[in-house]
Structure 1
Amino acid sequence: MSALRIAGLADVDTVADIVAASFQHMPVIRYLVPDDQRRLPVSRAWYRLYIEHAIRGAGQVVMTDDATAAAVWFDRTGEVTEPEDYAKHLADLAGDDLPRFEHLDHQMDAHHPRDPHFHLLFLAVLPDRWGQGLGSALMNHTHTQLDADGIAAYLEATSPDNQRLYHRHGYTDMTPPTIAVDGDTLLYRMWRPVTNG
């Protein structure tokens, strides 16, 4: 398995490519950008805003050396910030889909836990590497650090299958358990308390 490392600014586009390729199938991304032709470039530009923000100090991005998987974390133990000029950049990239992005942002913000934690926003593995333990390796890397520092973790799983994976890594379902994005499109709120071994 490829070694893991902390991503730097030179990796922003590479990580955006990993997330974009990994997330195209997700119902929440299809909701955000219904047009098949626009979905990849628009969603990639959106991911890139957050990836760069994390790398610039709002969190941490861990990736494999061979650029097949990445985890994008945000530090929510102190002041919470958003990408610089986020509203303007979002309007520019989203175009007619802006109300959908704003709706998702509002729903996620309204349901975000207030207790100090690290937020796993994106866990992405290239489709041809699924099922090889890369996502687990990325999580274990940061969970070890968080446990040592006494910090909990939070995420929004995108499917029941992902939810089961996160259960195996110590995450539990929250109350309320889901965020309704649109119709049958749900995100699953999950919390990982500090683990001492």
Structure 2
Amino acid sequence: MGVGIRAAGEDDRQLVVRLLDEAFQDDPVSGWVFPEREYRRTTHHRLMAAFTDIVLAEGRIDVTEDGTACALWLSMPAADGDGPDGRDGPDEGDEADDAVRLRESVDPANARVEEIARLMAESHPADRAHEYLWMIGVAPARQGEGLGSALVQHVLDRCDREGLPAYLEASSERSTKLYERLGFTYADRTLDIPDGPRMWPMWREPVTGRDRP
């Protein structure tokens, strides 16, 4: 049986924030940003809410019909402006300002909120337009059922039709295995957070009709 998937709207904001908060409470990167477990339990949702608001405004969020999983995507133009909408890529000054605003809105005294935003922006490939899988969250009780794979494949099918590559940063070695099965390959470099965990940037070229098995 297939997984029903739909595009999320503003009415789904609370659902998406809850899914991400629950799914990433024990994630290595979330644990680095909010090291104290009790503080993370009461504050982590603010970061997930900020991410949700950004993608609702600038990208696309897909959710399963039963509301148990979600995926956050952004369409990223190339730095030279040859992206699908002809826009230039992100400016470094804008990215720095965005990181500051994120910290101020989420947890003003927590420099790690700003630092993780800066690190991820700096490591992001800018030479080609692509779809960026920012986050994917599955309710803990439903993990391992293929919901995440279905959500990702839903957008990858479009990438293949339109000839677009896709990019993500895996936050654990375990999750890299899932993405490898979906055609992503390790980008030959890790994103090493100072005194923290490691992330694995991964890239996927579109699969053309000639390349399909």
Pairwise same-fold verdict (TM > 0.5): yes
Aligned alpha-carbon RMSD (Å): 2.1
Whole-angstrom CA distance in 2 between matches of 1:172 and 1:89:
30
Specify the alignment match of 2:64 in structure 1.
Answer: 64
Whole-angstrom CA distance in 1 between matches of 2:15 and 2:26:
19
Is the 2:55–2:73 contact (alpha carbons within 8 Å) kept by the matching residues of 1? Answer: yes
Whole-angstrom CA distance in 2 between matches of 1:55 and 1:134:
21
Q: Compare the two structures and name the one with the higher strand fraction.
A: 1
Q: Given the alignment of the two structures, is residue 146 of structure 1 paired with residue 147 of structure 2, yes or no? A: no
Specify the alignment match of 2:143 in structure 1.
Answer: 130
Whole-angstrom CA distance in 1 between matches of 2:194 and 2:27:
13
Whole-angstrom CA distance in 1 between matches of 2:194 and 2:24:
17
Whole-angstrom CA distance in 2 between matches of 1:164 and 1:89:
30
Which of these two proteins has the greater Rg computed from alpha carbons?
A: 2
Whole-angstrom CA distance in 2 between matches of 1:136 and 1:168:
9
Specify the alignment match of 1:52 in structure 2.
Answer: 53
Is the 1:31–1:182 contact (alpha carbons within 8 Å) kept by the matching residues of 2? Answer: no
Deviation, structure 1 residue 90: 2.7
Q: Which amino acid aligns with 1:168?
A: R
Whole-angstrom CA distance in 1 between matches of 2:67 and 2:39:
24
Alignment map for 1:68-79 (pairs within 5 Å): 68-77=68-77, 78=83, 79=87
Q: Given the alignment of the two structures, is residue 187 of structure 1 paired with residue 199 of structure 2, yes or no? A: yes
Residue 94 of structure 1: which of 92, 99, 107 is its match? 107
Identity level (%): 28
Specify the alignment match of 1:108 in structure 2.
Answer: 120
**TM score, norm. by length of structure 2:** 0.84
Aligned residues: 194
Q: Which amino acid aligns with 1:67?
A: G
Is the 1:111–1:179 contact (alpha carbons within 8 Å) kept by the matching residues of 2? Answer: yes
Please, which runs of 5 or more residues in structure 2 have no aligned partner?
78-82
Q: Given the alignment of the two structures, is residue 163 of structure 1 paired with residue 164 of structure 2, yes or no? A: no
Corresponding residue SS for 1:175: coil
Is the 1:2–1:66 contact (alpha carbons within 8 Å) kept by the matching residues of 2? Answer: no
Whole-angstrom CA distance in 1 between matches of 2:75 and 2:138:
22
Deviation, structure 1 residue 89: 5.0
Specify the alignment match of 2:37 in structure 1.
Answer: 36
Whole-angstrom CA distance in 2 between matches of 1:41 and 1:152:
37
- 1:50-78 Cα deviation digits (max 9, x unpaired): 2222222x211000111110000011024
Is the 1:159–1:187 contact (alpha carbons within 8 Å) kept by the matching residues of 2? Answer: yes
Q: Which amino acid aligns with 1:38?
A: Y
Q: Given the alignment of the two structures, is residue 118 of structure 1 paired with residue 131 of structure 2, yes or no? A: yes
Q: Which amino acid aligns with 2:37?
A: D
Corresponding residue SS for 2:186: strand
Is the 2:7–2:61 contact (alpha carbons within 8 Å) kept by the matching residues of 1? Answer: yes
- 1:89-142 Cα deviation digits (max 9, x unpaired): 531321321x11121112111111012111101111111101100001101111
Please, which runs of 5 or more residues in structure 1 have no aligned partner?
none
Q: Which amino acid aligns with 1:125?
A: V
Whole-angstrom CA distance in 2 between matches of 1:184 and 1:85:
22
